[in-house]
Chains A and B, each alone.
Chain A
Amino acid sequence: MDEFVNLKATELRLGLPGTDNVCEETERVSCCNKRALPDCDTENENESSSKKKTETSPPRKAQIVGWPPVRSYRKNNIQTKKNECDHEGQGIYVKVSMDGAPYLRKIDLSCYKGYSELLKALEVMFKFSVGEYFESEGYKGSEFVPTYEDKDGDWMLIGDVPWE
C-alpha cells in the first residue's frame, strides 16, 4: 500500500479518469479494519456500494481484502473472466530472469496496469526487493535493478518509459 502512495506521482495507469476509487477505497477500508468500529463498517458498505455502480470494471475488484472468501485461484479461473482477457487480445508474455536464480519465469504484462504492480509481482515471484525508484537516479535501496531489453536490443531501466 505504501509503495502505491510513493509511486503515485510517476505512476502511469491505463484506467479511465475517476478510477482512482479502487486504491482509496481499500486504504480507507483497511484503516477502518484496524479500529473495527461497527459504524465505520456500515459507512463503508454504503460508500462502496454506491461507488460500485459507477465504476468500470478491472478484473480485481475486492472491496475488502479477502472478502467474500473466494480463493484467488477460483476468482481468476471463472469462465468469463478468462474470456474477457482473451478479448483484450492475447496476453503479452515476457520471460523474466534474475541473476542467480536457476529458473526463468514468464509473466503476462497485460495483467498489470503499471510499473508498480509489475514490480510488486516480480518481488513476490523472485523474493527480492526492488528498492525505490527515482526518476533521475534509478533504483535505490536494493542490490537488484529491474531492466528489460527493448526492440533495439538495448538494456533499459524499468520505469523510465511510460507504461503504454
Chain B
Amino acid sequence: MPQDRPQMSEDDDGQSPPLDLRSAAIADPCSSSPNKSRNCIPSGAMTSQAFPDHVLENVLENVLQFLDSRSDRNAASLVCKSWWRVESLTRSEVFIGNCYALSPARLTQRFKRIRSLLLKGKPRFADFNLMPPDWGANFAPWVSTMAKAYPWLEKVDLKRMFVTDDDLALLADSFPGFKELILVCCEGFGTSGIAIVANKCRKLKVLDLIESEVSDDEVDWISCFPEDVTNLESLAFDCVEAPINFKALESLVGRSPFLKKLRLNRFVSLEELHRLLLGAPQLTSLGTGSFSHDNAPQSEQEPDYAAAFRACKSVVCLSGFRELMPEYLPAIFPVCANLTSLNFSYANVSPDMFKPIIHNCHKLQVFWALDSICDEGLLAVAATCKELRELRIFPFDPREDSEGPVSEVGLLAISEGCRNLESILYFCQRMTNAAVITMSENCPELTVFRLCIMGRHRPDHVTGKPMDEGFGAIVKNCKKLTRLAVSGLLTDQAFRYMGEYGKLIRTLSVAFAGDSDMALRHVLEGCPRLQKLEIRDSPFGDVALRSGMHRYYNMRFVWMSACRLSKGCCRDIARAMPNLVVEVIGSDDDEDNRDYVETLYMYRSLDGPRKDAPKFVTIL
C-alpha cells in the first residue's frame, strides 16, 4: 500500500492515506486518468458510500496499470478479490510457461485486455529427440480462442510450439493491429504461412523466426510484404532454409526506414549483404547470412566489404557467418569496437582467424562460438572482453569422443579475465574440479552455469575424481545461481551440495549422474525455488519421486526419462495430486517392461489433462 502514495500524490494533497475513500471520491470517481483534476467534484460524497468498490477499482486500475513485472502482478492479484479483478483488467501482457497448465478459455475468461502473449510448449528435452514428434503443444486452440476474445492482440511470442500455416493465416486475419510475431524453436509451418503474415499484418513491426523449422513451400514470401513503406523494425529469418528473392528483399529493406534488426539466412551472399548494408546503415543488429560468395563468377572488381561495415556505425550485434569464407572475416573489423554481442556459433573459426577479430571487441557482453576457437581463442576473449556477461561455447563435433579443443584451460582463463560473467554454457571433453572451483570464486555474478562434459560419467581428467567438488563450489559460492546443468561423473554428494546451497535454483538439468534415490531427494527437499527439473538416464526411482510430492504443485514441470520409475508409483502420485497431469511417454510395444516408465513428464494444470494427447502418451 505505501507504494500507492507516489502515484496518488499527484492529485492528492499527499496527506490523506491512500485508501481514504472519501478523499478518493472527492478527487474524481469518474475519470480514470492518473492526473485527476481537483476541480471535478462530483455531486455526492454519497457516491463513495454507495459504490466504494467501483471507486476503489478505478483507483486500483490507475495504479496497477503501472505494474509491468509479472511477479508483481501475480502478487497484487492475491491481495483480495477486488485487486484480483482489477489486475485481470489491467494486465496487458501474459506469460504462460506451459501451454498445458491451463486452457485458452481460462485465459480469456480471466484476462480481458491482453495485447501480448508469451507461450511456451514442449519441454526442452524434446529438442534432443527424447520425445516422438507430434506430442502436442499446438498453437491452434490458442489462436482460435484469442481470435474471438482479443481482437486488439498485438504480440505473440511462442517457444517450442507447433504452429501450422492455418494458424498463421487465422492470426493474420483476426488481429488488425498485429505488430510482433516471434517464433522460437517452433515447427509445423512453412513459407506459405509466413507469406500470409507478411501480406496481411499491415502494422507488422517484428517478424522474428529463430531456430525454427520452416518448410520451403517455394513461396516468395519476401515479395508478399505490402508495397508501401513498412513499419518493420526487426526481421529475422536466418533459420529459413529456402532461397530468397534478393531483389524483393533489397526493396523491402529500402522501404523500411525503421528497420534496426535484420538477420539474413544462408542464401544471401556476401555481395548481396554488401548491397543491403549500403542501403541500411541504420541497422543495430545484423545477421550476415552466408558470408561467402555465391557461385557466380567474380568478373568485376570485388566490392569493398569493409567500407560497407564501416558505414554501419550503429551495429552492436553481429551473427550469421553461416558458410564463412574466412578470408573475408577482416571486413567486420570496423564494427568490432562497438559490438556488444557476437555470435560465431555457426562458423568454423580457427584461433588464428579469431584472435585479430576479438582483440578489438572491448565492449563485448555476449559471445557465442564453436569450440573451434580452442583454448587459445578463449584466452584471447579473456584478455580483451572484460565486460563479458554471457558465454556459450558449442561443440563443432558434437560426439562423445571427439577431439575436444577446449578444456579447463579455457574455462580458467575466462574466469580470470571476465569477472562479471553471469551466464555460461560450455561444451568440452575434459574438465577439472579445480577450474570449476576457481570459476565459482572468480565469478560471483553467475546466475546460469551449464557445463556439458560430453563423455558420459567422465571424471576430473587430472585427479580421476568425480566432479562433485566443482559443482559443489558453484552452488556454494555463486549465491545468485538460478540455473544449473551438470555433467561428468557425479555421485550423490554433488546433489547433497545442491540441496544444501542451491537455494535460488529454478532450473536444474541432470544427465547420467548420481548413485541413488538420495541424490534426487536432496534436490527435491533442499531447493525451495525449483521450478523446472529435467533428468535423463540417472538411477532415480520411486522413492525419490515420492519424496518430492510436497513440491510438484509449485513447479512448472518435472521430466524424467530412462530413470528407474514404475508406472505404479506414477499412478499413485497422479491419484494423490489431482491437479497434476502425469504423462508417461513411451513405446507401447514394450511388452516385457510393462511397469517400466520410459519417460515421465508431469506438470500442474488448472484444467485437467489435455484432450489432444497422441497415442504414445498415457495420462495416468
Which A residues form the contact surface with B (CB < 8 A)? 2, 33-34, 36, 38, 41-42, 45, 48-49, 52, 61-75, 77-80, 82-83, 102-106, 124-125, 127
Contacts and interface: CB of A to CB of B under 8 A. Distances in A.
B589 A2 contact: yes
Contacts of A80: 348
A69 B511 contact: yes
A103 B190 contact: yes
Given A33-B537, A34-B598, A71-B128, A79 B346 contact: yes
Given A79-B324, A106-B218, A65 B129 contact: yes
Interface string B389-424: 000001110111100000000000000000000000
Contacts of A83: 323
B263 interface: no
10 contacts: A34-B596, A48-B400, A62-B399, A65-B130, A67-B400, A68-B399, A69-B128, A73-B211, A75-B398, A82-B266
Interface in B52-104: none
A45 B400 contact: yes
Nearest first, the 7 closest Cβ-Cβ pairs linking A and B are A66-B128, A33-B562, A70-B398, A68-B454, A79-B348, A49-B401, A71-B127
A104 to B, nearest CB: 7
A41 B456 CA distance: 9
B345 interface: yes
Contacts of B452: 68-69
A48 B593 CA distance: 25
A66 B211 CA distance: 17
Given A33-B562, A124-B134, 5 more contacts: A33-B537, A36-B538, A70-B427, A77-B266, A124-B133
A49 B370 CA distance: 23
B239 interface: yes
Contacts of B455: 45
Contacts of A68: 395, 398-400, 427, 452, 454
Contact of B399 (A34, A52, A72, A79): A52
B598 A127 contact: no
A50 to B, nearest CB: 10
Interface in B235-278: 239, 266
Nearest to B400: A63
Contact of B396 (A48, A61, A78): A78
A75 B216 CA distance: 19
Given A41-B512, A79-B323, A103 B563 contact: no
Contacts of A38: 457, 539
Interface of B: 125, 127-130, 133-134, 165-166, 185, 190, 192, 211, 213, 215-218, 239, 266, 322-324, 345-348, 370, 394-396, 398-401, 427, 452, 454-457, 511-512, 536-539, 562-564, 589, 593, 596, 598
Of B213, B400, B563, most buried by chain A (CB within 10 Å of CB) is B400
Contacts of A67: 128, 400, 454, 456, 511-512
Contacts of A63: 399-400
B32 to A, nearest CB: 46
A41 B512 CA distance: 9
A66 B130 contact: yes
A105 B217 contact: yes
B170 to A, nearest CB: 14
Contacts of B185: 71, 73
A48 B347 CA distance: 28
Given A69-B511, A77-B322, A36 B239 contact: no
Contacts of B266: 77, 82
Of A34, A45, A66, A67, most buried by chain B (CB within 10 Å of CB) is A67
Of A49, A69, A78, A125, most buried by chain B (CB within 10 Å of CB) is A69
B345 A74 contact: yes
Contact of B217 (A33, A36, A103, A127): A103
Contacts of A34: 562, 593, 596, 598
B401 A52 contact: yes
Given A36-B563, A66-B130, A67-B456, A78 B593 contact: no
Contacts of A33: 537, 562
Nearest to A52: B401
A82 B323 contact: yes
B217 A78 contact: no
Contacts of B165: 102-103
A45 B429 CA distance: 14
B216 A106 contact: yes
Contact of B129 (A41, A72, A79, A82): A72
Contacts of A52: 399, 401
Contacts of A103: 165, 190, 192, 217
Nearest to B348: A79
A42 to B, nearest CB: 7
Contacts of A125: 215
Contacts of B512: 41, 67
Given A61-B399, A67-B456, A78 B348 contact: yes
Contacts of A72: 127, 129
Given A66-B129, A67-B128, A83-B323, A36 B456 contact: no
A67 B128 CA distance: 7
A103 B442 CA distance: 55
B457 A41 contact: yes
A72 B130 CA distance: 12
A45 B537 CA distance: 14
A61 B395 CA distance: 14
